[in-house]
Amino acid sequence: MGKMLSGKTAVVTGAGKRSGIGYAVACKLAAEGANIVIADLGPDSDPELAVKTGTENEMADIVAEIVRDHCVDAMAVNLDVTNSDSIARMVDAVAKRFEKIQILVNNAGASFGVPNAVHTYDETAWMKTIDVNLHGVFRVSRALLPMMILEGGTIINTASRAGKTPPLFNGAYAVAKAGVIMLTKVMASELAGNGVRVNAICPGQIATDLEKWRFGLEAQFFDSTIEEREAEMCKTIPLGRIGRPDEVGDLVVFLASDRSSYMTGQAINITGGQLMEL
């Protein structure tokens, strides 16, 4: 059977380390035949990030692995989604290698200034959280859409369960992710006539560095351990476990492919049943 994404090229932001969702997404897309652009902070890593990004070497290793394992073309490019110059350099680099892109996965994300209630939240940290998670999606989509719009494509924005139901003491992130869901719907409406479908995914608890860090914060707060916090959390998940990045990758492949050809403007939960909506 042919691969679903052969001949297509995908840009995945925040995909520069093996422990993250972005890497798993990139591998799943490549396994279906898509060429891959790994875009991440790399050497421009933000010292304020609580969860460290991959190094330039790790990004290069990931590219080599994807080319070797999946026989597709791949490249790594440095990208800071909060910096328009960095985005313009990324677009130039991608355009030199690939004439068009058909798939954009806006996966980069981060939280700053947590845990804090709204009334104690540092203003700079609040703004930065919204800048990375929400404005980053706007900036990167805006910059890459001219490479997509002529022959159509799909955009998958990584929102979160937190964008639909409020987490405690992580308000800026929740507000940003809710904004990502609405931005997805706005873009889906505006771009449908151009053959670009836009959907969001809303992961719950997925085993990555970000998730471990959040459990670590909770463990400090409750004078507990990361393992105990994880076990408590699993009691609230009908499937009884934390999700895996590759499971998110499977959902992204579906949304990137023609298997979801009649879907746009949706925000799909992938939470092990932790979030159920009518």
Catalytic residues: 173
Q: Using the minimum distance from each CB to ligand NAI, give the nearer residue, 53 or 141.
A: 53
Nearer to ligand NAI, 9 or 160 (CB): 160
The footprint of ligand NAI on residues 159-198 (CB under 6 A) is 160
255 touches ligand NAI by CB under 6 A: no
Minimal distance, residue 196 CB to ligand NAI, in Å: 20
Residue 77 β-bridge partners: 39
The string of DSSP letters for 28-87 reads HHHHTT-EEEEEE-GGG--TT-SS----HHHHHHHHHHHHHHH---EEEEE--TT-HHHH
Which range binds ligand NAI by CB under 6 A, 60-68, 146-154, 188-196, 205-213?
A: 205-213
Residues of this chain, 116-145, that bind ligand NAI according to CB under 6 A? 132
Nearest distance from residue 271's CB to ligand NAI, in Å? 9
Segment interacting with ligand NAI (CB under 6 A) among 190-198, 203-211, 233-241, 252-260:
203-211
Stretch of 60-68, 77-85, 219-227, 256-264 lying at the interface with ligand NAI (CB under 6 A):
77-85
3-state secondary structure the chain: CCCCCCCCEEEEECCCCCCCHHHHHHHHHHHCCCEEEEEECHHHCCCCCCCCCCCHHHHHHHHHHHHHHHCCCEEEEECCCCCHHHHHHHHHHHHHHCCCCCEEEECCCCCCCCCECHHHCCHHHHHHHHHHHHHHHHHHHHHHHHHCCCCCEEEEEECCHHHCCCCCCEHHHHHHHHHHHHHHHHHHHHHHHHCEEEEEEEECCECCHHHHHHHHHHHHHCCCCHHHHHHHHHCCCCCCCCECHHHHHHHHHHHHCHHHCCCCCCEEEECCCCCCCC
Does 205 contact ligand NAI by CB under 6 A? yes
Q: Is 102 in the site for ligand NAI (CB under 6 A)?
A: no
Q: Which of 35, 53, 154, 269 binds ligand NAI (CB under 6 A)?
A: 53
Say whether residue 14 binds ligand NAI (CB under 6 A): yes
Residue 211 lies near ligand NAI (rule: CB under 6 A): yes
Q: If binding means CB under 6 A, how many residues of this protein chain bind ligand NAI?
A: 30
Is 153 or 243 the residue whose CB approaches ligand NAI more closely? 243
Q: Judged by CB under 6 A, does residue 51 bind ligand NAI?
A: yes
If binding is defined by CB under 6 A, does position 206 make contact with ligand NAI?
yes
Residues that bind ligand NAI (CB under 6 A): 13-14, 16-17, 19-22, 40-41, 51, 53, 79-82, 107-110, 132, 158, 160, 203, 205-206, 208-211
